[in-house]
């Protein structure tokens, strides 16, 4: 696994606020990495810095060993689809045509298929499209270009669940045939959980988790049962969240639980359940948490 993007101690400060605080991570080549976090966590800022569109206050970013800032050679291998992408006042088909000039790997047939999938009116000016259609344009460009390093920043604004699923399915299918490095930022975690190989979680400008998706899935479990039994079981475990109703308690703890612990839970008549990626991220976001890394 070779890291194709190296992010070292990147900090981005604006007047009075810190968007990114000493962020260090790496993106592995030919993987789909999810950049997860709440709105305003710093996902967009990080992606903009990776693509040289934003300047870091301190730190460095290396894409394939070079800085992406004003670097045509490196930038030409990247494509960055943002939410609310601003297009010039042109028709959809002109935008697609123009995009194809910039990527030798552009697949025209795929673009046509995607246009049909999203029912895009190609002869209409982009500024007259609905929100969902507008997002679809970005998705078509993002997928058809087959850029070596493709970044999507919440590209599905306005897309309904069906259209979003089309995007995920198409992304997966094309990625399987033509592997590339994909960074997908989203706050709709459950929808994409299964697509991701690696997960980076950002909260308030800091990375709070950076591990494989499989790893993170086992990082927490829910323990349900009578309050007394639950507390006895919890003893020295880190509690991420606690809920109680009557004499029953439901607690989210850091896992994984080994066989011994599971046996003990059974003895105490406790029910052990899984924690979805989304719930895990919700429970570990918020006030400063110990960084969990693979």
Partner 1 sequence: MNGIARVARLHLVDRFSYTWLVWGVLSFVFVINAAIFAVIPLTQPSGNYTGALVTIYIFMGVIGVQAATKFLPFAFTLGVSRRTYYLGTVLLVLGLCLAYSVVLTALWWLEGQTNGWGLQLNFFRVPWLLDGPWFQVLTTTFALLSLLFLFGLWCGLICRRFALLGTLVFFGALTVVVVGAALIVTWQQAWPRVGDLLVNLNVLGASGLVALVGAVIALGGYGTIRRLTV
Partner 2 sequence: MLDEGTPLFLQIAEQLSSDIIDGTLTEGSRVPSTNEFAAFYRINPATAAKGINLLVDGGILEKRRGIGMFVTTGARDRLIQARRKEFAEQFIDPLVVEAGRLGIDPDALIEMIRRPTDRRRTAEYEPLISSTPQAPQTAQEGEAS
Interface with partner 1 by CB under 8 A: which residues? 48, 51-55, 70-72, 75-82, 85-90, 94-95, 97-99, 101-103, 138, 141, 147
Q: Is 269 left (phi over 0), alpha (psi -120 to 50) or beta?
A: left
User: How open is the CA angle 210-216-217, to the nearest 5 degrees?
Assistant: 160
Closest distance of CB 73 from partner 1, Å: 10
Residue 1 interacting entry, from partner 1, partner 2, none, C-beta within 5 to 8 Å by type: none
Residue 258 interacting entry, from partner 2, partner 1, none, C-beta within 5 to 8 Å by type: none
Residue 273 interacting entry, from partner 2, partner 1, none, C-beta within 5 to 8 Å by type: partner 2
Q: 98: which 2 tokens?
A: 């123009």
**What's the DSSP call for residue 91?**
B
Residue 118 interacting entry, from partner 2, partner 1, none, C-beta within 5 to 8 Å by type: none
Alpha-carbon span 267 to 270, nearest angstrom: 7
Closest distance of CB 77 from partner 2, Å: 21
Using N-to-C axis directions, what is the helix angle for 108-117 and 131-144, rounded to 10°? 160
Residue 40 interacting entry, from partner 1, partner 2, none, C-beta within 5 to 8 Å by type: none
Closest distance of CB 137 from partner 1, Å: 11
- Give the nearer residue to partner 1 in terms of CB position, either 102 or 291: 102
Q: Give me the residues that bind partner 2 (CB under 8 A), please.
A: 31-32, 168-169, 172-173, 175-177, 194-197, 213-214, 217-218, 221, 259, 263, 266-267, 269, 273-277
- Give the nearer residue to partner 2 in terms of CB position, either 8 or 191: 191
Beta strands in the chain (DSSP E): 3-14, 17-28, 32-37, 58-63, 78-81, 149-153, 181-186, 198-203, 206-212, 220-226, 239-245, 248-254, 271-274, 292-293
Alpha-carbon span 289 to 205, nearest angstrom: 12
Closest among 52, 46, 55, 54 to 69, alpha carbons compared = 52
Q: CB under 8 Å to 267, separation ≥6 — which residues?
A: none
Closest distance of CB 71 from partner 1, Å: 7
Closest distance of CB 36 from partner 2, Å: 15
């Amino acid at each position: 696994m070779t890291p194709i993007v190296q992010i070292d101690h990147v900090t981005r400060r604006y007047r009075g606020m810190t968007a990114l605080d000493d962020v260090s991570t790496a993106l592995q080549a030919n993987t789909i990495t999810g950049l997860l976090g709440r709105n305003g966590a710093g996902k967009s800022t990080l992606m903009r810095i990776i693509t040289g569109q934003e300047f870091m206050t301190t730190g460095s970013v290396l894409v394939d060993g070079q800085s992406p800032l004003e670097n045509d050679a490196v930038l030409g291998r990247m494509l960055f689809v943002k939410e609310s992408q601003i297009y010039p006042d042109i028709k959809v088909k002109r935008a697609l045509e123009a995009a194809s000039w910039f990527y030798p790997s552009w697949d025209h047939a795929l673009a046509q298929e995607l246009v049909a999938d999203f029912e895009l009116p190609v002869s209409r000016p982009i500024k007259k499209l609905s929100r969902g259609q507008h997002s679809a344009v970005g998705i078509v460009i993002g997928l058809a270009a087959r850029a070596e390093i493709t970044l999507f920043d919440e590209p599905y604004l306005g897309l309904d669940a069906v259209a979003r699923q089309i995007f995920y399915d198409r992304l997966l299918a094309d990625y399987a045939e033509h592997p590339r490095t994909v960074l997908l930022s989203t706050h709709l975690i459950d929808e994409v959980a299964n697509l991701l190989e690696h997960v980076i979680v950002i909260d308030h400008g800091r990375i709070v988790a950076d591990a494989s998706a499989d790893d993170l899935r086992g990082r927490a479990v829910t323990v349900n049962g009578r309050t007394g039994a639950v507390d006895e079981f919890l003893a020295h475990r880190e509690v991420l969240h606690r809920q109680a109703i009557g004499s029953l308690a439901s607690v989210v703890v850091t896992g994984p639980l080994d066989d011994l612990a599971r046996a003990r839970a059974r003895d105490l008549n406790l029910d052990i359940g899984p924690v979805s990626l989304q719930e895990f991220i919700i429970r570990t976001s918020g006030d400063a948490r110990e960084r969990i890394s693979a």
